Amino acid sequence: MNTTFENLSSVWPLPVRGDAFDRADADIVNRMNIVSAATACAKLSGMGITRSYIQGPTPLDRGARVVGSALTLQFMPQREDIASGVSQEYVERHTALWEVLETVQEGDVLVVQAYGSAFTGCLGDMLVRYFKRRGGAGIVVDGRIRDAARVRELGVPIWCTGVTPHYASQTDLFPWAYDVPVAVGGVLALPGDVVIADDDGAVIVPQGKALELVESAEDHENWEEFSRMRLEQGARLSDYYPLNADSRAEYEAWRDGGRIPLV
């Protein structure tokens, strides 16, 4: 049974860290604050990115929302000659789980690959507390967390598949790598991609598509606001959702005229 980190790293150097990466442009991230996960997912589909929705994780607290640059953490299956045993909770401080938290910057969203494991508490009270203190904006875990009551008190937006009393390496997985590509809920997430998450779930926006998406989404969100207003006033759904040629012209006049409420 391995009980020291030296035994771990003698088989394969741990933790694994990926190459340096650029975080998503702060201005683009800020502009995305008006973009819902649903709008982002729809727009990306129209741009040819059909796998953006992270299946599985749901908000720990309803009403949560986050937009930020992805920081990635990868768990891997345990193997007895590398990572196994009841002492691993103490060994974890030398792993990617601790290391990635030391790299957190203001506004980062931690995206965790954990294979939807029902037995791995990827993060708990102390780690989420430290993440928050370093300026982390939110966490998306394709797996579970622990210390749910205390974590909720911290107010960090979290998307996960549930809760468990287990610590991170207690059963089937081990914190392996960070700043690497990760697979979360059937979606590829790269360090520096943009994460948009709300009550509908979490979406990964490829960094290279972020500007195109936000420009399209800003127009989409604006005309939906206009359409919502017109529907509340009794207009026909087929005329205003989506806009036709006439209602589009009406919307553009409203937008260019200062978005004055219609009566």
pLDDT tens digits along 82-134: 876 556 666 788 899 999 999 999 999 999 999 999 999 999 999 999 999 99
Write down the pLDDT at residue 87.
61
Write down the pLDDT at residue 1.
38
pTM of the model: 0.90
> How crowded is residue 228: how many other Cβ atoms within 10 Å of its Cβ?
12
Instruction: Tell me if 143 sits within 8 A of 105, measured CB to CB.
Output: no
For the chain, the C-alpha Rg in angstroms (whole number) is: 21
> Which stretches of the chain score pLDDT less than 50?
1-4
Peptide bond into 191 cis (omega under 30): no
φ, ψ at 173 (rounded to 5°): -125, 165
- Extract the tokens encoding 224: 């939906």
- E-strand spans in the chain? 16-17, 53-54, 58-59, 66-77, 108-113, 138-142, 144-145, 158-160, 162-163, 173-178, 182-184, 187-189, 194-198, 201-205
Give pLDDT tens digits for 120-144: 999 999 999 999 999 999 999 999 9
Write down the pLDDT at residue 260.
80
d(C-alpha 16, C-alpha 8), whole Å: 12
Write down the pLDDT at residue 82.
81
- Extract the tokens encoding 83: 């990572």
